Amino acid sequence: MLREILKHPSALLIAIIIHLLIVMIFIVSFNWTEPPVGQEAGIPIELIQEIPLASIQPLDANIPPANIEVTEKENEQNNDQPALDNTAKLLVAQKAAKLLAEQKNRTKANTDKERRKQKLATEKRKKEKQAEKDAREKAAKAYTEKKTKEKAEKENAAKEYAEKKVKEKAAKEYAEKKAKEKAAKEYTEKKAKEKEAKEYAIKKAKEKAAKEKAAKEYTEKKAKEKAAKEYAIKKAKEKAAKEKATKEYTEKKAKEKAAKEYAIKKAKEKAAKEKAAKEYTEKKAKEKAAKEYAIKKAKKKAAKEKAAKKYAAKKAREKAKAKKKKEEDAKKAKIVAAKAKKEARDKKIRDASIKKWNEKKRLEKEKKIAAEKKATEEKEQKKQAAIIAKKKVLEAKLTAAKAYASKAAKLKAKTNWGKRIVTHVKRRWQIPPGTQGMSAKVRIKVSPSGYIRGAVEMVRCGGDATYCASIIQAYKNAEPLPRPSRNDLDRTFLITMDDQ
Amino acid sequence: MTSHDTHWFYALFAMLILFVLPSTSTAELELHISKSAGDGVPIAIAPISGGANFIIEADLKRSGRFTTQRLTNKTKLSIFGGALSATVLKTIKAEYLIRGRLAKTGLDIELIEISTGSKAAVFRIGHVTNRRRMAHKAADKIFERITRLKGAFDTRLAYVTSTGHRPNKHYRLYIADSDGYNPHIILNSNQPIMSPSWSPDGSKLAYVSFESGKSAIYVQDIFTGKKRIISGKKGINGAPTWSPNGSQIAMSLSVDGNSEIYILSVHNGALKRLTNDRAIDTEPAWSGDGRAIIFTSNRGGAAQLYKIPAHGGQARRMTFMGSYNSAADIVGNKIALVRRNGGQFRIAIMQMGGSGADIISTGKYDESPSLAPNGTMIAYATQRKGRGKLVVVSDNGKSKQELHAPEGEVREPAWSPYIR
């Protein structure tokens, strides 16, 4: 977390500032001179001085000060006259005692009065104090409330201010960010435009090359496709021919087989029939023989002989038939074999012929394809050569354009540099007096460090010696001249100097 | 056209471009420098404590070879020895930046080349009582570093003032700094004082004074104040001028009734007559090498400048332009003179051996031109609102400053040689 905070020092700083601001607002809003109120008030100290009643010497209000003085004066005068007798002294003493008694009574009355007064005053003061205290408490309460309110308001204001500041800052940051983004965007756009402009030529060239390449590829592809198609057709035809031949051959074979099988079947059926017929005949013969044996037992011997004879004859016939059949079968098999052999020979001949024909066709086709291919290749080569030549021309053009741009940039840089040299030298040329109308032309070659290589060459001096010397001196004084912006510049200048 | 032909055509075209372009680009770039619209070397001056920057600025400006610019902000850049940021330096539209510091030991100056951000020169001017002189010396150094000509700001001017009206007219011979400040009176008189001329070592002044009732030529040491009469002959004793080596003084005397040029040996007082003509020959001035004297004469009918070998010989007319040319002052091969131009007398400058001259003043009655020892400025007297004033103009006429001078009519300035 600390690392996160440290990653954003500005945020940390702002947080510290806001905290400090809140503390300052709190300090400022707090009234340090405000008296404590309520429970915090404690016991109020009353600064009331208790005056002892004995020390209070009320004056007789009836006796004016002038009379007292007079009395004192009279006393003094009496002192001066010791002749006055004790009567007078007594009278005075009585009078004084009377006065003292009266005074005491008055004093007592006054004291009582004063006590009452004081009591009243104390009560009044107490009441006033109470009232004052109440008022103060009220005021303090009101003040506290007011302060609390103010504080709350201040806090609100501070909060609002802080919020406002934060908002403003955020808005500012946002605006700055936006501005930066905008600037960055503009910059990016500018860069992109520049890049785009720069790349445009390259892109164009590339596009052209790509088009050419694509065209070439397309042509090649077409040719290949055509060749492939032709080849496929050829293959298909070949395949079809082969299939046809195979089919024919298979059919032929099947037919032959079927014929053979049919012949074998027929032979078998015939043999089976013959066998069945034989068996049947034998059975019949046996049954007949048995019947005849039962009926014609008597004739058995003769019949037996006859039967044996017949049997022998039959046997001989059957044997001859079987032999004949065997011979026929052998003959048939021989015929079939010969036929098959002939067919095989024929097929071989036919196949050889087909093969020959197919080979001929293939060769013709290959020859044709080769010719076509050759023509296409030639055409392609021509096309390729044209593209290469065009490309070369374009490259040459591009190189020339690049060279031209480079030279133009160099010329511009040199012109700007020359202007700076002109200004630099002009400021240091102290043209001699009385040389109006004179002019000169010099040639200088400046080193990359700004110093003139060799000497200033006076190409033409259209003034007096002092004038031309002042020009040479001007260049000497002006060294080092402004340096070239790029090192590859041609650094020779021809400068005309005059006062026009 | 077949494709092959097209290819050939393009190839030829490309080759043509390739061959032609280099030949055009390698051709020399021809530039043109016209002096008429030229300005001085732009130089920025940072504030220096004690105001030395203002003195340096005024000095450089007066030379007519600089355009000055004040750096008003006291930034780090303007503080002597402060960091030099190339980016910040480029914001100053000048070739050089001057920064300085006034210390107890003297005035430290840095001359910074703005294009490279390097210090072209750093120097210290030793402390002298006259602080203005320190600034003048600094300006001299800067001037020399940039123009390769010795600066002449730390030099002096002598001039004559007159106050009051006859018969209570009062004349004073003053010496002041080259910018007119710190004037000191070296001679007070009720009689006219004329034609002050500095000795080559800058320690003496020769002048004409009428204090004895008639004109006489005196030589006074400016430091001790001691003076002696070197010519008090009958008639006019006028226009003394020291030879470059200080051994002779050329003057105009009318011993024989007609004003002629004479040469007086300072060592033995021997007098030699140089011209002998019925016309008035006056205001001699030595050529820089001391071999010839140029003087004003009306032998051709009107006042013109003539040149004569210092050892004697035939005088040869030098000026042919203008109906009036006089009061030549020579430094190097530059001659400052007064020329009548359309009824107005103005200061012109020409070169030795040249025929043309440039008018560099604009007054009606400009007189007594005196060249600074490096020939870059001319002090002369002019009339403004009926009162004589001193003006310094640059030799190229681009700068003109009226000098601070005491009250009264100010006349006949004489610029001192370099102070040693």
- Segment A149-162, tens digit of pLDDT: 877 887 887 788 88
Domain co-membership, A217 together with A191: no
pLDDT at A182 > cutoff 70: yes
Mean pLDDT of A113-141: 80
Please give, rounded to a whole number of angstroms, the shortest distance from the CA of B280 to a CA of chain A: 27
Residues of B in contact with A411 (CB under 8 A): 25, 29
* Chain-chain contact of B17 with A492 (C-beta, under 8 angstroms): no
Evaluate whether residue A173 is within a structural domain. Answer: yes
Domain with CATH 3.40.50.10070 in chain B: 40-147
Confidence of residue B248 (pLDDT cuts 50, 70, 90): very high
What integer pLDDT is reported at residue B355 of this predicted model?
81
Residue with the larger pLDDT of the pair A36 and B415? B415
A237 in contact with B, Cβ within 8 Å: no
**Which chain B residue shows the shortest CA-CA distance from A490?**
B26
Whole-angstrom distance, CA of residue A15 vs CA of residue A18: 5
**What pLDDT digit, counting tens, does each position of B141-159 carry?**
999 999 999 999 999 999 9
Residues of B in contact with A493 (CB under 8 A): 28-31
B18 in contact with A, Cβ within 8 Å: yes
What residues of chain A, 394 to 413, have a C-beta less than 8 Å from chain B?
396-397, 399-400, 403-404, 407, 410-411
Is the CATH number 2.60.120.260 carried by domain B156-415?
no
Eight-state DSSP code of residue B295: E
**What pLDDT digit, counting tens, does each position of B159-174 carry?**
999 998 878 889 999 9
Evaluate whether residue A410 is within a structural domain. Answer: no
pLDDT at A78 > cutoff 50: no
A110 in contact with B, Cβ within 8 Å: no
**Those residues with Cβ within 8 angstroms of residue B24's Cβ, 6 or more apart along the chain or in another chain:** A407
Domain co-membership, A256 together with A386: yes
What integer pLDDT is reported at residue B237 of this predicted model?
94
**What pLDDT digit, counting tens, does each position of B182-196 carry?**
999 999 999 999 999
What residues of chain B, 119 to 158, have a C-beta less than 8 Å from chain A?
147-148
Q: If you average pLDDT over each of A265-269, A451-455, B22-26, which comes out highest?
A: A451-455
Residues of B in contact with A482 (CB under 8 A): 115
Nearest Cβ partner for B38 among A427, A443, A500: A427
Please give, rounded to a whole number of angstroms, the shortest distance from the CA of B67 to a CA of chain A: 10
* Chain-chain contact of A426 with B35 (C-beta, under 8 angstroms): yes
Q: Structure tokens of B174?
A: 């003053």
Residues of A in contact with B349 (CB under 8 A): 433-434
A389 in contact with B, Cβ within 8 Å: yes
Confidence of residue B21 (pLDDT cuts 50, 70, 90): very low
Mean pLDDT of A448-453: 89
What integer pLDDT is reported at residue B9 of this predicted model?
56
A426 in contact with B, Cβ within 8 Å: yes
**Domain hosting residue A80, numbered range:** 11-28+62-196
Q: If you average pLDDT over each of A65-79, A163-177, A199-213, B134-148, which comes out highest?
A: B134-148
pLDDT at B2 > cutoff 50: no
Residues of B in contact with A498 (CB under 8 A): 32-35
Please give, rounded to a whole number of angstroms, the shortest distance from the CA of B50 to a CA of chain A: 30
Residue pairs between chains A and B whose CB atoms are closer than 8 Å: 147
Please give, rounded to a whole number of angstroms, the shortest distance from the CA of B339 to a CA of chain A: 13
Eight-state DSSP code of residue B167: T
**What pLDDT digit, counting tens, does each position of A370-410 carry?**
999 999 999 999 999 999 999 999 999 999 999 999 889 88
* Chain-chain contact of A477 with B24 (C-beta, under 8 angstroms): no
Nearest Cβ partner for A494 among B26, B28, B353: B28
Percent of residues, chain B, with pLDDT higher than 90? 67
Domain with CATH 2.120.10.30 in chain B: 156-415
pLDDT at B273 > cutoff 90: yes
Evaluate whether residue A15 is within a structural domain. Answer: yes
* Chain-chain contact of B14 with A466 (C-beta, under 8 angstroms): no
ipTM of this complex prediction, to 2 decimal places: 0.80
Domain co-membership, A171 together with A211: no
Evaluate whether residue A444 is within a structural domain. Answer: yes
Domain co-membership, A184 together with A228: no
pLDDT at B34 > cutoff 80: no
What integer pLDDT is reported at residue B342 of this predicted model?
85
Residue with the larger pLDDT of the pair A147 and B408? B408
Percent of residues, chain B, with pLDDT higher than 70? 91
Domain co-membership, A160 together with A257: no
The answer to whether residues B97 and B121 touch, using CB atoms and an 8 Å cutoff, is no
Residue with the larger pLDDT of the pair A113 and B25? A113
- Domain final residue pick, A153, A175, A196: A196
pLDDT at A262 > cutoff 70: yes
CATH fold for the domain made of B40-147: Rossmann fold (3.40.50)
Residues of B in contact with A399 (CB under 8 A): 14, 18
Helices A300-426 and A465-478 meet at what angle, rounded to 10?
130
What integer pLDDT is reported at residue B26 of this predicted model?
46
Whole-angstrom distance, CA of residue A476 vs CA of residue B149: 12
What integer pLDDT is reported at residue A492 of this predicted model?
87
Evaluate whether residue A5 is within a structural domain. Answer: no
Average predicted confidence (pLDDT) for chain A: 80
Domain co-membership, A346 together with A472: no
* Chain-chain contact of B356 with A436 (C-beta, under 8 angstroms): yes
Domain co-membership, A276 together with A389: yes
Residues in chain A: 500
Query: Degrees (nearest 5) of the Cα angle A99, A105, A110?
Result: 115
Mean pLDDT of B338-342: 90
**What pLDDT digit, counting tens, does each position of B289-335 carry?**
999 999 999 999 999 999 999 999 999 999 998 899 999 999 998 99
The answer to whether residues B295 and B310 touch, using CB atoms and an 8 Å cutoff, is no
pLDDT at A476 > cutoff 70: yes
Mean pLDDT of A59-78: 41
Mean pLDDT of A28-50: 49
pLDDT at A81 > cutoff 50: no
Domain co-membership, A270 together with A340: yes
Q: Residue holding tokens 């945020």?
A: A11
Average predicted confidence (pLDDT) for chain B: 88
**How many domains is chain A built from?**
3
Residue with the larger pLDDT of the pair A183 and A358? A358
Evaluate whether residue A54 is within a structural domain. Answer: no
pLDDT at A69 > cutoff 50: no
Mean pLDDT of A353-371: 93
Residues of A in contact with B355 (CB under 8 A): 434
pLDDT at B10 > cutoff 80: no
Please give, rounded to a whole number of angstroms, the shortest distance from the CA of A201 to a CA of chain B: 17
Evaluate whether residue A53 is within a structural domain. Answer: no
Mean pLDDT of B403-415: 88
Domain co-membership, A277 together with A301: yes
Nearest Cβ partner for A434 among B39, B42, B354: B354
Mutate one of A397, A420, A421, A426 to test the B interface: name it (highest B CB count within 10 A): A426
B333 in contact with A, Cβ within 8 Å: yes
**Which chain B residue shows the shortest CA-CA distance from A426?**
B38
A368 in contact with B, Cβ within 8 Å: no
Domain co-membership, A192 together with A264: no
Strands B325-331, B316-317: parallel, antiparallel or unpaired by DSSP? unpaired
Mean pLDDT of A262-273: 82
